[in-house]
Amino acid sequence: MTAAVIDGKAFAADLRARVGELAVAFEAKAGRKAGLAVVLVGEDPASQVYVRSKGKSTVEAGMNSFEHKLPADTSETDLLAVVEQLNADPAVDGILVQLPLPRHIDEQKVIAAINPDKDVDGFHVTNAGRLAVGQPGFVPCTPLGCLMLLKDRLGDLSGLDAVVIGRSNIVGKPMAQLLIAESCTVTVAHSRTKNLPEVVKRADIVVAAVGSPEMVKGDWIKPGATVIDVGINRVAAAEAGKTRLVGDVDYASAAQVASAITPVPGGVGPMTIAVLLRNALVAAYRSAGLELAADAI
């Protein structure tokens, strides 16, 4: 058996197109564009690439992008003042502070300062709490993107056994909460889990969010399972001096056993920005008091 490839790139392009249509409708109803503010502190090259690409995608989706680039030596107090200013700005529906922040700034303090109703990354404890108790809020983009791919592939997830490998606040924990809400039986595995291959073998759904190149092998996977690979790891390529991206799953062996699997790249990765745009648009509809059907996006 060779697994079907879950095309996250195509799904994300479709989601972005739907966001674009709803952004046009928002502008017509609200008399202004939806707006997403991105704050970057310092010159980390990877963060600069992410911020540029988020800004470009925001504009392409018909929303305003407000970029705030602050020097690496910006004080915590000054950063908190920028967040406060964005909280108070009615043109800004969503606020994203690009992580990681320089070491002299307390990330948790900055996230806590964002108005939870503008926290489109879903990292504020209020949004983590809302997710845990099933209230509407904002869910972190990567796990929400994984759930969209799973539901698109499998439909109703009710009663399925799911194993999430990784327990980070950004991916593993919210992923587990989302799957519980879909009535899966969820196991969260992590660095101290015993007999990980046996634990994974029980799962109808495997979500790997570890950061360990090709760790999950094909013989860990239950035949017919659906595999979502969140990992993005850069490793040496066969050609000297070149690198390539691999996931946390050993794709070649897992694809022999699974019924469907996300590739790396082109699987979960493209979903993250698409869901960010979705969250920003939802924030705009909510802040303007406009209806957005639950299944609209």
Residues of the shown chain interacting with ligand NAD in the complex, contacts defined by CB under 6 A: 142, 165-168, 170-172, 189-191, 193, 196, 209-212, 230-233, 268-269, 272
Nearest distance from C-beta of residue 100 to ligand NAD, angstroms: 11
| Residue 185, strand partner residues | 161
Which position among 98, 118, 173, 248 bears the catalytic label? 98
Q: If you compute the radius of gyration of the chain from its CA atoms, what whole number of angstroms results? A: 19
Nearest distance from C-beta of residue 203 to ligand NAD, angstroms: 14
Closer residue to ligand NAD (CB): 37 or 171: 171
Structure tokens given for 48: 């600069």
Nearest distance from C-beta of residue 289 to ligand NAD, angstroms: 31
CB-CB contact of 207 with 163 (8 Å): yes
Residue number of the CB closest to ligand NAD reads: 168
Nearest distance from C-beta of residue 36 to ligand NAD, angstroms: 17
Closer residue to ligand NAD (CB): 172 or 287: 172
Which position among 119, 121, 204, 229 bears the catalytic label? 121
Distances (CA, A) of 21 to 25, 85, 281, 294: 6, 29, 11, 16
CB-CB contact of 101 with 76 (8 Å): no
The closest alpha carbon to 155, from 103, 205, 91, 95, belongs to: 205
Closer residue to ligand NAD (CB): 196 or 296: 196
The closest alpha carbon to 182, from 170, 174, 191, belongs to: 174
The closest alpha carbon to 273, from 61, 6, 24, belongs to: 61
Which position among 54, 118, 173, 222 bears the catalytic label? 54
Backbone region of residue 62 per phi and psi (left: phi > 0; alpha: psi in -120 to 50; beta: other values):
left
Q: Among this protein's residues, is 29 annotated catalytic? A: no
Closer residue to ligand NAD (CB): 116 or 140: 140
Q: Among this protein's residues, is 109 annotated catalytic? A: no
Q: What whole-number distance in Å separates Cα of residue 275 and Cα of residue 8?
A: 12
**N residues, the chain:** 297
Closer residue to ligand NAD (CB): 82 or 270: 270
Q: Among this protein's residues, is 7 annotated catalytic? A: no
Residue 244: strand, helix, or coil:
strand
Nearest distance from C-beta of residue 53 to ligand NAD, angstroms: 12
Q: Give the residue numbers annotated as catalytic, written as ranges.
A: 54, 98, 121
